[in-house]
Amino acid sequence: MAIGTYDEYKKRLLAMKPNVYLNGKKIDRSGDWIDGGTYVMKQTYDAANDPEYEDLCTATSHLTGKKISRWTHIHRCQDDLFKKQLMTRVMCHRVGGCTQRCMGTDALNALAVVTYDMDQACGTKYHERFNKYLEYAQEKDLVINCAQTDVKGSRNPKYKRAHMQPDPDQFVHVVKTDVDGIGIDGKPCKGMIVRGAKICNSNAPYVDEIIVTPTKFMGAGDESYAVAFALPGDWDGVKLMALPGKHHERKHLKAPFAEVGDVESLTIFDDTFVPEDRIFMNGLDQPDVLQYAGYLALMFAHFHRHSYTGCKTAVSEVIAAQAALVADVNDIAKEHHVREKISDIIGTAELVFAAGQASALRAIEFPNGSWVPDEVLTNAGRKLAGQKIYHEYETLADLTGGISASLPTEESFYAPETAELCNKYIMRNPDYTAEETHRVMRMMENKLCDAFEGAQAVAGVHGGGSPLMETITMMSRYDLEPLKDIAKYLAGFENYKKCPRYERATATPRAMLERFKKTEVKK
């Protein structure tokens, strides 16, 4: 197959075993609660089969040479990174927000790098196992997500290590290894039992597969928490506590923006058997891989933040587009303050995208053949996007006005007794019809006042890591000592008669891994 279709994807979903829990009841993957999320997935499949988007949304597999979806591709050159970033941007325009497939792409790319490095250092066989899984995912064009964020339990510093938690299940961990079970193919096999939960796990109820990675560095005593694996979304022992998100339902003014939604999940692994061929890290079985838990966590976060330089660029551009349109509908588009506010949003979008492009330009090839972008630039772009997002919503609310929160119900514009009056008094700029004005204001109601967009605003700050995490990452990679030498020269310090030549080296998670090897594990 290689390039799949939406109909094939939807057929797989409907064939899955019920393991989604909504309002306390176990349900299958039918019903309108899932429609907003699957609408987004439809756009990704449709684009991959559209010649207009072929150069962005498809690629050539380095494993098989086949044409595949770029959502399942491993970045093998700088151009792959550029195209992934641009694909994310363009697809986000198409759905007015998150494309929801970047997590799977970023998890696959992180595992491609880290499993290879583990095998070289520890004598494991994870990379060969991963490549078989990757080929399967590419051939089926699977929708995959990544479950990384553990529920984490107490944040008290005395419980700083995963194994120190009062409840050991607050981080996903291996309960038992080398156990007998049944594999994906229905045949007996060896494997491991895992327990724990992942939170903030977007779209888990409508993906084919869930990839689990560690959430942070692990130290001595955390061996069972150094774990990574992949399972079908409906696998026995996987329980998905669903939180659907969607815009206010419309009966008359159907529009692409109103169709979009998602489903968040608290994803629970309740003594779940993981077949051996789906295990990509197991510290309980092989303690030497302990140091690679944090490395994998960082590598996923790094690739994901690079995706965000495409995604958050598009989110800002969508807000800028809506701001420009609503300002025109309100007949204030030529006002200086309006142009200033919109230019601020556009400037943020372009700077975020430029940071992602620059990080791809400074990418380096890793031993497995993957190309990894510069970490400081990627995090700088993502941090800027997270810091600005609430201000962009504020600007949109300012240019829209209070009508977004007090618009009469949709039915009022169509009921015989009220339609004429509602359409008369919603008019603003005479260049727009009453229905066009109504459509714009209904979109603003969706964007600014419904629960789904409230959640999207929070996700704009915290998705992929909050600005604090970007600060931590940047400051752990950026070497300030040679930077200070420039200031010492400028201040006239003795022994600084000549300004030192300073060119920042490309920063990658590998540097953090080496630092961790020297300190944390030894402790």
523 within some domain: no
Count CA atoms closer than 13 A to 166's CA, side-chain side: 5
246 and 328 in a single domain? The answer is no
pLDDT for 455 equals 84
272 and 381 in a single domain? The answer is no
159 within some domain: yes
Burial class (CB in 10 A: 0-12, 13-18, 19+), 171: buried
289 within some domain: yes
Q: Over the stretch 80-110, which tens digit does the pLDDT of each residue have?
A: 999 999 999 999 999 999 999 999 999 999 9
286 within some domain: yes
265: pLDDT strictly greater than 90? yes
228 and 192 in a single domain? The answer is yes
pLDDT for 107 equals 98
Q: Is the dihedral of CA 399, 404, 410, 416 positive or negative?
A: negative
Among candidate residues 257, 276, 302, the one where a domain is terminated: 302
517: pLDDT strictly greater than 80? no
Number of domains in the chain: 3
pLDDT for 523 equals 42
Query: pLDDT category, 473, cuts 50, 70, 90?
Result: confident
296 and 312 in a single domain? The answer is no
515: pLDDT strictly greater than 80? no
400 and 294 in a single domain? The answer is no
Average pLDDT, the chain: 94
Kind of pairing, strands 144-147 and 209-212?
A: parallel
The strand pairing partners of 209, in sequence order, are 144, 232
User: What pTM, to 2 d.p., does this model score?
Assistant: 0.94
156 and 70 in a single domain? The answer is yes
Q: Which residues contact 87 (CB under 8 A, 6 or more apart)?
A: 53, 56, 57, 70, 310
163 and 291 in a single domain? The answer is yes
459 and 359 in a single domain? The answer is yes
357 within some domain: yes
Q: Give the integer Cα–Cα distance in Å for 64 and 138.
A: 9
Among candidate residues 302, 330, 348, the one where a domain is terminated: 302
Percent of the chain topping pLDDT 70: 98
Q: What is the CATH number of the domain that holds 426?
A: 1.20.140.10
278 and 318 in a single domain? The answer is no
pLDDT (mean) for 15-21:
98
268 within some domain: yes
45 and 102 in a single domain? The answer is yes
Supply the range of the domain harboring residue 469: 307-475
373 and 483 in a single domain? The answer is no
463 and 351 in a single domain? The answer is yes
Strand order, beta sheet including 20-22:
25-27, 20-22, 238-246, 261-275, 188-198, 173-182
Query: pLDDT category, 516, cuts 50, 70, 90?
Result: low
pLDDT for 510 equals 82
Binning the chain into helix, strand and coil, the percentages to the nearest 5 are: 55, 15, 30
pLDDT (mean) for 404-414:
95
Q: What is the CATH number of the domain that holds 200?
A: 2.40.110.10
Residue 451 amino acid letter:
A
Q: In this structure, are residues 266 and 201 in contact, taking their beta carbons and an 8 Å threshold?
A: yes
Query: pLDDT category, 1, cuts 50, 70, 90?
Result: low
1 within some domain: no
